Amino acid sequence: MRVNAYAKINWSLRITGKRADGFHDLETLFQTISLHDTLTFEPSDRLKLTCDDPTIPVDKRNLVIRAAGNAKVAIALHKEIPAGGGLGGGSSDAAATLIALGNSSPEIALNLGSDVPFFLTGGTAYATGRGEILTPLPRVTGIPLLLLIPEERVSTARAFGMLRSFSPPLGIERYRTMIDDDLLSHATELINDFEEPIFAMLPSLRTLKTQLYEAGAAWAAMSGSGSTIVGAFRTAEDRDVAREHFKNVRAVAAETL
C-alpha cells in the first residue's frame, strides 16, 4: 500500500493566550497543499521504519512508529516535506499511517500531536484550542504557491517560548466571509503571530517574505512556527516567473488542495 502524506500551510495563525496546562490557545486556518511525503506499507514480521532522509529518526522519536503501534508492517518513508519547516510533515506522516492501518480516530491522532487530527481530513479548516478543535470550511483549492524553504530550522517549542504578546481571534464567520469573498484580497488580516519573534532572530526570513511580495505574490507569510515562507499567486504563470528570482534558497512550486 502506498499513501501520500500532504503538507499544510497556515493562512493565518493567531496565538490567543496561554493555558493553565502550559499549552497555548490559538486560532488558525489550516490548508493542505500538493507537496507530500510518500509512505509505502508492506507486511513484515515486525514493525520497521526506513527513511531516505538520513536526518530523520526511525525509532520512537518518529511519529510514524508511534502511530503504527504494534502493527507488523515495514514502512518506507520518502521525504519531500522538510522537517522543522512549519509544514506539518511529521504530523501528516503520522495521520497517513493511522489511516493506512485503520486506526484513524481523532482521539488517537490528538495523542500524537496537536495538528495530527487535521491531517485525517485535510482541506481547509478553522482550528482553535491547541489546533485540534476543527471546523471544515469551503476548500480553497487550486491557488498557486511558492514555498521558500531555507536551511534554517525553527523549534516549535522555542518559537512558543519567544512569544511576548497575544492576538484576539477573528472568529470563524470572518474567515468564512473572506473565503467566500476572495481570500487573497484579505492578505492584511491573514497574519502569523510567530513572525515577529522569529524574524527578529532570523532576519533573512523577513527578507524572503518581502521578496515574495516584490515578485508579485498576492499574499506571503511564514507557515506555522517556520521556517518556510509561503507566497500565494493569482496565476501559475505569475508563480513560475517569481520562482526564477530565488536561486539561493530551495523554491518549491505547489498548489492548494
What was the pLDDT predicted at 74?
98
Is position 115 annotated as part of the catalytic site? yes
C-alpha distances in angstroms, 247 versus 125, 232, 242, 243? 33, 18, 11, 8
User: Domain end: 111, 137, 163, which one?
Assistant: 137
Whether residue 164 has pLDDT greater than 80 = no
pLDDT tens-digit readout, 65-99? 999 999 999 999 999 999 989 999 999 999 999 99
Strand partners, 10: 30
Closest CA to 174 of 10, 26, 12: 12
Domain count along the chain: 2
Predicted pLDDT at 185: 97
Query: Domain check: are 250 and 222 in the same one?
Result: yes
Residue 148 CA to residue 248 CA, distance in Å, equals 10
The boundaries of the domain holding residue 130 are 2-137
Known active-site residue 209 = no
Across the chain, mean pLDDT equals: 96
Q: Which residues contact 116 (CB under 8 A, 6 or more apart)?
A: 63, 91, 94, 95, 98, 109, 110
Q: What is the pLDDT of residues 113-147, one digit of tens each?
A: 999 999 999 999 999 999 999 999 999 999 999 99
- 128-156 CB burial, b ≥16 within 10 A, e <16: bebbbebeebeebeebbbbbbbbeeebee
Give the active site residue among 93, 115, 193, 209.
115
Instruction: Please give the Cα distance from 69 to 182 (Å, whole number).
Output: 42
Is this structure's pTM higher than 0.85?
yes
- Residue 205 and residue 105 share a domain: no
Out of 113, 137, 161, a domain closes at 137
Overall average pLDDT of the 31-40 stretch: 98
Indicate which CATH number applies to the domain containing 192.
3.30.70.890
**Annotated catalytic residue within 8, 93, 193, 209:** 8
Strands (E), the chain: 2-18, 24-43, 48-51, 73-78, 124-128, 133-137, 144-149, 219-222, 229-232, 250-255
Could you tell me if 8 and 125 lie in one domain?
yes
Per-residue pLDDT tens for 206-249? 999 999 999 999 999 999 998 999 999 999 999 999 999 999 99
Distance in angstroms (rounded) separating the CA atoms of residues 132 and 56: 25
The last residue of one of the domains, among 107, 137, 167, is: 137
- As a whole number, mean pLDDT of residues 50-56 equals 96
Question: Residue 18, Cα to own-chain centre: how many angstroms?
Answer: 21
User: Residue 168: exposed, middle, or buried by beta-carbon count in 10 A (0-12, 13-18, 19+)?
Assistant: exposed
Residues 93 and 198 in one domain: no
Same domain, 31 and 89: yes
Kindly state whether residues 224 and 104 are assigned to the same domain. no
Q: What is the CATH number of the domain that holds 71?
A: 3.30.230.10
Same-domain status, 120 and 163 = no
24 and 72 both lie in a single domain = yes
Confidence of residue 32 (pLDDT cuts 50, 70, 90): very high
Separation of alpha carbons 159 and 198, rounded Å: 7
How high is the pLDDT of residue 215? Answer: 98
